[in-house]
Amino acid sequence: MEDLILIWNSLPALLKGMLVTLELTLAFLGLGFLVGIVFAFGQVYGNKFTQTVIAIYEKVFRAIPALVLLFLFYFGSASLGIKLSAFISACLAMGLRSSAYQSQIFRGAIQSVGKEQMMASRSLGMSQFKSIVYVILPQILRLSIPSWTNEFAIVLKDTSLVYALGITEMLRQGRYIIARTYGNSLLIYITVAVIYFILVFTGSKFFSFLEKKFKIPGYETKEEKEGVRAV
Amino acid sequence: MLSNPPILLLKDIRKSYGTEEVLKGVSFELSKGETKVLIGPSGTGKSTLLRCINQLTPPDEGEVWLNGTELTDKKVDINKARQQMGMVFQHFNLFAHLDALNNVKLGLTKVKQMSEKKARSKAMEELERVGLANQASSYPAQLSGGQQQRVGIARALAMDPKLMLFDEPTSALDPELIGEVLEVMIDLAEAGMTMLVVTHEMGFARSVCDEIVFLENGKIVEQGSPRQFFENPEHKRTREFLDKISELYGGSKR
Amino acid sequence: MSFFDLAWSIFPSLLKATIVTLELTGISISIGLLLGILLALGRLYGNKPIYALATAYVEFIRGTPLLVQLFVFYFGLPSIGINISPFFSALAAFSLNSGAYQAEYFRGAIQSIKGGQMLAARSIGMSRFKGIVFIVIPQALRLVIPSWSNELIYLVKYSSLAYMVQVPELMARGKIIASRNFRTFEVFLVVAFIYLVIVLILSKILDLVEEKVKIPGLGT
Ligand SMILES: Nc1ncnc2c1ncn2[C@@H]1O[C@H](COP(=O)(O)OP(=O)(O)O)[C@@H](O)[C@H]1O
Ligand SMILES: [Mg+2]
């Protein structure tokens, strides 16, 4: 009973933190999307130099732990005399990191759409830009939804790492509640976990709804067709 | 035929990939209303030649002239020129995310800047012409190969091209679906469209085209009327190739 | 002090901490491997309660942040009277977390093995259990290598979270050094570089392993 009251009382603060968590998710994913999609096209259609630079960018941002990136952009930049707010540093670190993953997602999709679609639209007299906007992009966005759902979940969960920069997101709200109330910390952290779970679950459901909605009729993925079954 | 000025003129087209010279100086012309069939072994540069014509693959050397305009000139607005040359692909290349109607309509609204309403009725007209008005809202993956190819033809025709380029339009199709596509092409030829067709359908070549061009190893070996080609080919290689084709594709019934 | 002098001077100390990072990763991935196989088998072959439990576990762990899981072990458990050291709480959190992900990789791999394999095993008189142990799992282990490689690399990187509960691993060492010399950016550049090298070496090794155990003619 006491436990339930503690959870109930901590909900307003946790929900406030949750809003920050969602804002951060949106910002990281948004920046990652913009940079990622440009880089993906750069990788496929760019010249050798562009391709190499983007490949190195991807490798580096994917190999360095998120926490190290956060430190480099926040504490590191400060030590160089560049003053960035915790929020901006977090956006740069986590957004650029996500862009490296999203770029790979979109690149895969562009490659699976294939050169033929581009050739067909160029043969009608469409410019390369128009072909990308009207023919390639609509297809790769559809194809990317499943992997993108995964990236969404990862980015959402990893927003908890900005705890280390002192941003008052959901996990830090939890910590404050424990400090204020001397409450059962196990209970609070599990409550935080449950809220994260609900967010991840709802978000993923939303994306699979989108996937169904934008599904191209007759264009099933192979697994669906074969109906994979356990032996 | 002689009275017609050439619509398309190729002068000494050359193209290499790396060190491999795929086209070694190809020249020919196509008059208005003429249907030319291009044959030759696989890997010999037929697709490359078609793509050199509409500059999807710019040739390294040589000139392509369409209706008095040099397309190989860097200053030419190639997107404008391509609207005058419809292309039909071996694997159809329909836009996978659009239904049949929108496949045909896209070029009209986005390239020709036609109004939605006009584009729609024009697209429907073209689908009707290939006998697919009833499949307007089907997506490519829901259509048979033959139907997809007919949509592909309608998509190209919708731009009102002066010239149609066909790259083995039936070779990816199951035998029973070839007829419906050939029928559309025959209608088109009879209606006076200028066509350049890469195909191994010898029945089509025999009965429809005005001239056959035999390409091998990036060079034209022989060109002439179907009659001369089938009855009295000049080169031994031509005869051998025709024999092989009729073996592979089963006579010239179609 | 130039960057390179600095890097040179802090390198030995960072390398020592790297050993902790690798220990943490190595032990966690191994425990996670066992747990993952058990969970996958539970989800595929278990009876209703086992299936439900395994599924709930996998989904809940994968749906929550690792850092929160770590806090549950380190800060949470003491409130019900269980105190474990930083290293062991990190180990527990990482292993249990990785187990859930590895379970999914195994499940996918086992599912992609054709039903005919089990039928063939049964047809030569193997029991279902023997079929799983001798036919299905050996094939699944090979198939799982690419996703497992990813998991190992993920875990190396996420092991840096142990810093948040005072485990003296690479990240924590970097922080201590930076708090003394105030050259945070350069110190963490070196830290980042060490992670980069570990990740690159590991992916190379794993590529080689994959090549080595590949069954001829069978794509992974
Ligand atoms: N984009 C390309 N890059 C490199 N080589 C190519 C490319 N396109 C075609 N080729 C080569 O050019 C030759 C002719 O190809 P293609 O024109 O497709 O022949 P065909 O259509 O007559 O079968 C082949 O050897 C092929 O490998
Ligand atoms: Mg070809």
DSSP-derived secondary structure for A142-180: HHHHHHHHHHHHHHHHHGGGGGGGT---HHHHHHHHHHH
Q: What is the pLDDT of residue C94?
A: 97
> Collapsing DSSP states into helix, strand and coil, what is residue A216?
coil
- The torsion of the CA quartet C162, C165, C168, C170, rounded to 10 degrees, works out to 40
**What ranges in chain A are assigned the alpha helix state H?**
2-45, 48-63, 66-71, 77-79, 86-113, 115-123, 128-131, 137-158, 170-181, 185-213, 222-226
> Collapsing DSSP states into helix, strand and coil, what is residue B132?
coil
Q: What is the ipTM of this complex?
A: 0.90
CA–centroid distance for A27 within its chain: 9
Q: What is the pLDDT of residue C120?
A: 84
> Residue C192 falls within a domain, yes or no?
no
Q: List the residue whose alpha carbon is closest to atom 27 of ligand 1.
A: B43
Atom of ligand 1 nearest to the CA of B40: 22
> Collapsing DSSP states into helix, strand and coil, what is residue A40?
helix
Q: Any idea which ligand is nearest the CA of B51?
A: 1
Taking each helix axis as running N to C, give the angle between helix C3-45 and helix C48-62, from 0 to 180 degrees, rounded to the nearest 10. Answer: 160
DSSP structural state of residue A134: I
Q: What residues does each domain of chain B span?
A: 6-84+161-249, 95-160
* Each residue's pLDDT tens digit, B67-119: 999 999 989 999 999 999 999 999 999 999 999 999 999 999 999 999 999 99
CB B76 within 8 Å of CB B69: yes
Q: What is the pLDDT of residue B65?
A: 95
* Each residue's pLDDT tens digit, A121-151: 999 999 999 999 999 999 999 999 999 999 9
* Each residue's pLDDT tens digit, B124-145: 999 999 999 999 999 999 999 9
Nearest chain B Cα to A217, which residue?
Answer: B139
Using CA of residue A85, residue A87, residue A91, residue A94, what is the dihedral sign? positive
CB C174 within 8 Å of CB A46: no
**Cα(B210) to centroid of ligand 2, in Å?**
21
> Residue C54 falls within a domain, yes or no?
yes
**CB C79 to CB A184 under 8 A?**
yes
- What distance in Å separates the CA atoms of residue B51 and residue B74, rounded to the nearest whole number? 16
| Cβ-Cβ contacts under 8 Å, A100 against chain C | none
Looking at every residue in chain A, the average pLDDT score rounds to 91
CB A127 within 8 Å of CB A158: no
**CB A219 to CB B111 under 8 A?**
no
Q: What is the pLDDT of residue A225?
A: 35
- What distance in Å separates the CA atoms of residue A103 and residue A32, rounded to the nearest whole number? 8
Domains identified in chain C, total number = 1
| Cβ-Cβ contacts under 8 Å, A231 against chain C | 110-111, 113-115, 117-118, 136
| Cβ-Cβ contacts under 8 Å, A131 against chain B | none
Q: What is the pLDDT of residue C217?
A: 66
Which one of B17, B200, B215, B216 would you pick to mutate in the ligand 1 pocket, going by the greatest count of ligand atoms within 8 A of its CB?
B17
Domain extent for A60: 2-230
Distance of residue A6 Cα from the nearest chain C Cα, in angstroms: 14
| Residue B201: closest CA among B124, B142, B156, B254 | B254
Q: What is the pLDDT of residue B3?
A: 56
Domains identified in chain A, total number = 1
Res. A222: pLDDT tops 60? no
Is residue A147 less than 8 Å (CB to CB) from chain C? no
- What distance in Å separates the CA atoms of residue B108 and residue B115, rounded to the nearest whole number? 8
Atom of ligand 1 nearest to the CA of B44: 22
Nearest chain C Cα to A62, which residue?
Answer: C196
Q: Give average pLDDT by consecutive 10-residue segment, chain C, 220 residues.
A: 87 94 96 95 92 96 96 93 94 97 93 81 84 86 87 95 95 93 92 96 89 69
Tell me the mean pLDDT in the region B55-77.
93
Domain extent for C109: 23-169
Res. A203: pLDDT tops 90? yes
The CATH number that applies at residue C34 is 1.10.3720.10
Minimal Cβ distance to C72: which of A75, A76, A189:
A189
* Each residue's pLDDT tens digit, A12-68: 999 999 999 999 999 999 999 999 999 999 999 899 999 999 999 999 999 999 999
Judging contact as 3 or more Cβ pairs under 8 Å, the answer for A and B is yes
> Residue C212 falls within a domain, yes or no?
no
| Cβ-Cβ contacts under 8 Å, C195 against chain A | 63-65, 68
| Cβ-Cβ contacts under 8 Å, A71 against chain C | 171, 174-175, 184, 188
* Each residue's pLDDT tens digit, A78-108: 989 999 999 999 999 999 999 999 999 999 9
Q: What is the pLDDT of residue C15?
A: 93
Mutation pick from A61, A68, A162 vs chain C, by most beta carbons of C within 10 Å, is: A68
> Residue C109 falls within a domain, yes or no?
yes
* Each residue's pLDDT tens digit, B150-203: 999 999 999 999 999 999 999 999 999 999 999 999 999 999 999 999 999 999
A interface with B, Cβ–Cβ < 8 A, is 113, 116-117, 119-127, 130, 134-135, 138-139, 142, 216-220
> Residue C187 falls within a domain, yes or no?
no
Minimal Cβ distance to B89: which of A116, A217, A220:
A116
- What distance in Å separates the CA atoms of residue B189 and residue B195, rounded to the nearest whole number? 7
Q: How would you classify the pairing of strands B20-31 and B6-17?
A: antiparallel
Q: What is the pLDDT of residue B250?
A: 60
Q: List the residue whose alpha carbon is closest to atom 25 of ligand 1.
A: B43
- What distance in Å separates the CA atoms of residue C36 and residue C45, rounded to the nearest whole number? 14
Helix H, strand E, coil C: the string for chain C is CCHHHHHHHHHHHHHHHHHHHHHHHHHHHHHHHHHHHHHHHHHHHCCHHHHHHHHHHHHHHHCCCHHHHHHHHHHHHHHHCCCCCHHHHHHHHHHHHHHHHHHHHHHHHHHHCCHHHHHHHHHCCCCHHHHHHHHHHHHHHHHHHHHHHHHHHHHHHHHHHHHHHCCCCHHHHHHHHHHHHCCHHHHHHHHHHHHHHHHHHHHHHHHHHHHHHCCCCCCC
**Cα(B168) to centroid of ligand 2, in Å?**
7
The CATH number that applies at residue A187 is 1.10.3720.10
Looking at every residue in chain B, the average pLDDT score rounds to 92
Taking a contact as any Cβ pair under 8 Å apart, which residues of chain A between 71 and 110 contact chain C? 71-72, 75-80
> Collapsing DSSP states into helix, strand and coil, what is residue B45?
coil
- What distance in Å separates the CA atoms of residue A198 and residue B52, rounded to the nearest whole number? 56
* Each residue's pLDDT tens digit, B18-51: 999 999 999 999 999 999 999 999 999 999 999 9
Q: List the residue whose alpha carbon is closest to atom 6 of ligand 1.
A: B17
**Is CATH 3.50.50.60 the classification given to domain B6-84+161-249?**
no
Task: Write out the H or E segment, with its range, that includes residue B205.
Answer: helix B202-208
Would you say the CB of residue B48 lies under 6 angstroms from ligand 1? yes
Res. A228: pLDDT tops 60? no
